[in-house]
Structure 1
Amino acid sequence: MIQTVIFDMDGVIVDTEPVHRYAYFKQFDELNIPVTEAMYTSFTGFSTRNTFQKLKEVFVIEHEVEDLIQRKRTIFNDAFDSKADLELLEGVENLIKELHQNGMQLILASSASKVTIERVFNRFKLHDYFTHVVSGEDFPKSKPHPAIFEHAASLSIAPKENCIVIEDSTNGIKAAKAAGIFCVGYNSIHSEAQDLSEADVIVNHFNEMDFKRIENFHSKLGNY
């Protein structure tokens, strides 16, 4: 029986991707580096640190990674605070509240920085629903490396066999599967460039899931 749901944040709870995209490409212009759409898409699920580490391997960038991170964070925060139409993804708030009301443990495991997570959680008043928040900035390797989900599962009230992950990216799903955790792929309109085929279940809208359905995903856990 499923007792813990591990949520990704960007693209699952809230769509901050347009804000991240704006911040990154504004910074790419400042750095005068020609990042292609394909390269940018390949960074989905990466932490900001890993993204800039990878970019420094590809391009000549004189700035230190820490300075690059801080500049991107400044651009993002300014844009985030001024974006009035930023909302939770349709149906996810009801799902979070229903799971919480029925005693399901909720954990966040996001590649986003702690600062960004805190901004989202404060804006949408999510702290009361999640027992733990795990940020990708605490791990040297980003998704698809499983470390973030292995750590999230270690915080669960139950063994990882009784956990599920909800993810919307190729790298996130690969990370969940590498951690040996049942994965629900969320096929949102923002996931068009992502390959969700390795997910155990794919849903197109959060109204396809409720407490009872999630609780009974354990019947499909025979792979582990």
Structure 2
Amino acid sequence: MIKTVIFDMDGVIVDTEPVHRYAYYKQFSELNIEVPEEMYTSFTGFSTRNTFQTLKGHFPTIEHEVEDLIQRKRNLFNDAFDTKEDLYLLEGVEDLIKDLYTNGIQLILASSASKVTIERVFTRFNLHQYFSHIVSGEDFPQSKPNPAIFIHAASLSIAPKEECIIIEDSTNGVKAAKGAGIYCVGYNSNHSYMQDLSDADMIINHFNELNAEKISQLKA
């Protein structure tokens, strides 16, 4: 019986990808580098640190330190986030979160996003009350598909990992979930552009396909 649901954030709870994309490409322009779409898409699920570490390997002309690159990206993101009015929770996810919480299923967030970004999203949409723990990818040296973030999230569960599930929308996220040995629900939304969810144990196209009763009965 499933007792804990571990949520990714970007692309699952809220779609901040357009804001991230704006910030990254503004910064790419400042750095005078051209990042192909395929390369940018491969960063989905990466932390900002891992993204810039990878970019520095591809573009030797980037002389800035990774920490400086991270701070610039966060400043660009935060400025855009604070002025963006059309930012909403993804359709159906708030109802699912409330249903799970009301029915006593533990909720944990495990997101590659920075703590600052998570805090902005959770404060804006009043989500702190539902989640027992928040885990940020910035605390781990390697991003998804490395399973470390999910292994740690599962260690915070009230139940063994066999009674946990993960909801993910990215190729790297699904790989990380399976690498952690945890049942994975792949969320195939309009935002899952070029993402391969085929390794997920179950794939949904809308959150109305899930509720507390259905999730509690899943066989992990």
**Global fold match (TM > 0.5):** yes
Match of 1:148 in 2: 149
What code does the residue aligned with 1:36 have?
P
Match of 1:53 in 2: 53
Match of 2:11 in 1: 11
Q: Deviations over 1:53-105 (max 9, x none)?
A: 00000102100000000000000000000000100000000000000000000
Deviation at 1:31, TM superposition (A): 0.1
What code does the residue aligned with 1:76 have?
F
Q: Deviations over 1:137-195 (max 9, x none)?
A: 00000000000000000000000000000000000000000000000000000113100
What code does the residue aligned with 2:158 have?
I
Structure 1 vs Structure 2: percent identity of aligned residues? 78
C-alpha separation in 2, matches of 1:215 and 1:178: 22
C-alpha separation in 2, matches of 1:15 and 1:149: 21
C-alpha separation in 2, matches of 1:158 and 1:46: 27
- TM-score normalized by structure 2? 0.99
Match of 2:90 in 1: 89
Where does structure 2 lack aligned partners over 5 or more consecutive residues? Answer: none
What code does the residue aligned with 1:119 have?
R
What is the root-mean-square deviation of aligned Cα atoms in Å?
0.4
The number of equivalent residue pairs is 219
Alignment of 1:36-115 (within 5 A): 36-60=36-60, 61-115=62-116
Where does structure 1 lack aligned partners over 5 or more consecutive residues? Answer: none
Extract structure 1 runs of 4+ deviating beyond 4 A.
none
